[in-house]
Amino acid sequence: MVFMNKRQLGKSDLYVSEIGLGCMTLGTDGAKAVTLLESAVELGVTFFDTADLYDKGENERLVGKALAPVREKVVIATKVGNRWNDDGKSWRWDPSKAWIKEGVQRSLERLQTDYIDLYQLHGGTLDDPIDEATEAFEEIKSEGLIRAYGISSIRPNVIREWLGRSNLTSVMMQYSLLDKRPEETVLDFLAQKGVSVIARGPVAKGLLADKPAASYLDHSEQEVEKVQQGLDALVTPERSKGQLALRYALSHPAVATVIPGTSRIEQLEENVGAAQTSDLSQSELASLHDLSRANRYENHR
């Protein structure tokens, strides 16, 4: 197993690899998915994020199968809150205490483990029964079923509410050079509170790596292309475009880990390679930051 730098997740006793693996894109080809997961472990990845929603639980099953032999060496995160309807084609939002406590039992079974390292609420609004959900997380933590809990949300108002009413370890949110909204509202605040960010989408669906330019959020195709050209100019023998993008997301003190997804070994190796490169200098960081304009959250402020 290759050594990768680890960072503390919030104030918990969990330490996660700088480059994690977002498992949503693994697919349902069991043999291929397990091979990819095993390769990630060999390359030094110790943080794996899945959810009960992905492929109706099959994603959790594959993650559990592949990581069972190294269970004590890895940190497994999963999510709860989206509940499949009986038609098997749609799901509904259910952040109730009852569903969180039932959901954790189902996830434990699929993951083939007797504890989940990080259990996250998969979304959320201000209308949720936050105190009730917090009570559920605290109870299953005291029972030893989970080691820590967090939320997955990009809504600043929801994040602030949870911070004031719970003992969150982490917040998962989208963050990249093409989505700098968290810089405006929540990153510094979370760092001050000692709550870690798990950055998803750090290469913006591949647009900051090897995919052709296309519109993204409120960036036009032309704006994305300009960012890509700027990245090209900053590439060195040590760092590729995608690796520069990953190091950018990792540069903020609030960010504990980035979780790019992949379905190919080659892309996995490229992503993990970012961990073997040096931190960005202040001048490099400034140059990267200047490549794209600031985004801002228009809603849920």
Those residues with Cβ within 8 angstroms of residue 43's Cβ, 6 or more apart along the chain or in another chain: 1, 2, 4, 268, 269, 272
Please provide the distance, in angstroms rounded to a whole number, between the alpha carbons at the two ends of the chain: 43
Name the active-site residue from 15, 54, 175, 216: 54
Those residues with Cβ within 8 angstroms of residue 243's Cβ, 6 or more apart along the chain or in another chain: 270, 271, 273, 274, 277
Using CB atoms within 10 Å of the CB of residue 282, give its burial: 0 to 12 exposed, 13 to 18 middle, 19+ buried.
Answer: exposed
Whether residue 263 contacts residue 25, with contact meaning beta carbons closer than 8 Å, is answered with yes
Concerning whether 175 is annotated as a catalytic residue, the answer is: no
- Nearest Cα to 280, choosing from 288, 291, 272? 288
Helix 265-273 to helix 30-42 angle (10° resolution) is: 20
CA atoms of 7 and 10, how far apart (whole Å): 9
> What would the 3-class secondary structure string for 99-144 be?
HHHHHHHHHHHHHCCCCEEEEEECCCCCCCCHHHHHHHHHHHHHCC
DSSP type of residue 219: B
Element (H, E) at 156: helix 156-165
> Which positions are annotated as active-site residues?
54
